[in-house]
């Protein structure tokens, strides 16, 4: 929803209530928290967003593509899918989105933070390059549009932006992020995934496939056997099949090393995994196949 449309809707609401619209920009505020309570050590994300190629696995040196209503099938969503418009999103974008969601404060639907501390908390350091990367990422998330066609969601085809509004707070060194209120429905009925920071923080730099697999397998109560080519399609990787098999083996081994997985096998083109015992706060309440 655009800022202009939001302002118009707020003004219309005020007129209907017999009140004069206040001058100047309206304040975006939800009457309730957008994100369900979760431990600081386990940020959460809707299941659908980690069961598809919204946050793709790609070589960071490759140029980002632009999409217009690009259809993304969602695993275990009863033939559900989303249509994505915007610049290609990758795993760093997901990390920023999740951390921003976890910082929702006293003003529901918003997160206010100091950018350099934000960068430090997600492992980017506090350099100028990290700061610029964060601004680029937030801007990219702002310019997104998701059309959700998932059976469990009441409003089919509702347009959602991952970040609805972005502000540099005057006279401070803070940034304020406003989230689209429609995102709240994606968290409804506990359809979200908790991902322990300790796992992601241990992954080596540029472990993009391991990061995607971490979110994907965390969204299931127990991992099920998956065809390798299906996993490749779901994560958006476009490398040759033989190369993806090599990358998947290394990524799964990393998840064993950080103790997210106990073991895995890749036999006859099928990936099977066994989850390690994890603390309760890391487990999700997923839909569909578990």
Q: Tens of pLDDT along 89-129?
A: 999 999 999 999 999 987 889 999 999 999 999 999 999 99
Residue 266: its pLDDT value, please? Answer: 93
- Is the C-alpha dihedral spanning 252, 236, 132, 24 positive or negative? negative
Residue 266's alpha-carbon distances to 32, 57, 184, 243, 273, in angstroms, are 45, 19, 37, 14, 9
**Residues in the chain, how many?**
290
pLDDT of residue 32: 75
pTM, to two decimals: 0.84
pLDDT score for 38? 85
pLDDT lower than 50: segments of the chain: 1-27, 280-290
What is residue 212's predicted lDDT score, i.e. its pLDDT? Answer: 97
Q: Which of 90, 92, 112 is nearest to 166 (CA)?
A: 112
pLDDT digits 0-9 by tens, 251-287? 999 999 999 999 999 999 999 999 987 654 444 444 3
DSSP annotation of 104: B
Per-residue DSSP letter, 276: P
């Amino acid at each position: 929803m655009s800022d202009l449309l939001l302002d118009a809707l707020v003004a219309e609401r005020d007129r209907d209530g017999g009140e004069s619209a206040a001058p100047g920009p309206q304040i975006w505020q939800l009457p309730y928290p957008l994100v369900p309570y979760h431990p600081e050590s386990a940020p959460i994300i809707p299941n659908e967003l980690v069961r598809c190629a919204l946050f793709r696995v790609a070589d960071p040196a490759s140029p980002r593509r632009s999409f217009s209503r690009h259809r993304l099938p969602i695993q275990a969503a009863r033939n559900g899918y989303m249509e994505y418009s915007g610049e290609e999103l990758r795993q760093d974008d997901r990390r920023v989105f999740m951390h921003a969601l976890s910082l929702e404060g006293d003003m529901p639907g918003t997160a206010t933070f100091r950018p350099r501390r934000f960068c430090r908390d997600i492992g980017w350091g506090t350099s100028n390059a990290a700061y610029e990367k964060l601004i680029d990422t937030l801007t990219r998330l702002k310019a997104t549009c998701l059309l959700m066609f998932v059976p469990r969601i009441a409003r089919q085809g509702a347009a959602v932006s991952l970040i609805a509004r972005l502000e540099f707070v005057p006279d401070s060194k803070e940034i304020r992020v406003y989230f689209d209120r429609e995102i709240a429905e994606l968290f409804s009925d506990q359809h979200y995934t908790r991902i322990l920071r300790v796992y992601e923080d241990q992954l080596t730099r540029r472990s993009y496939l391991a990061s995607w697999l971490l979110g994907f397998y965390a969204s299931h109560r127990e991992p099920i056997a998956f065809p390798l080519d299906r996993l490749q399609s779901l994560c958006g990787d476009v490398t040759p099949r033989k190369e993806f098999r090599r990358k998947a083996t290394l990524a799964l081994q990393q998840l064993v090393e950080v103790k997210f997985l106990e073991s895995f096998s890749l036999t006859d083109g099928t990936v099977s995994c066994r989850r390690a015992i994890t603390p309760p706060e890391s487990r999700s309440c997923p839909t569909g196949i578990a």
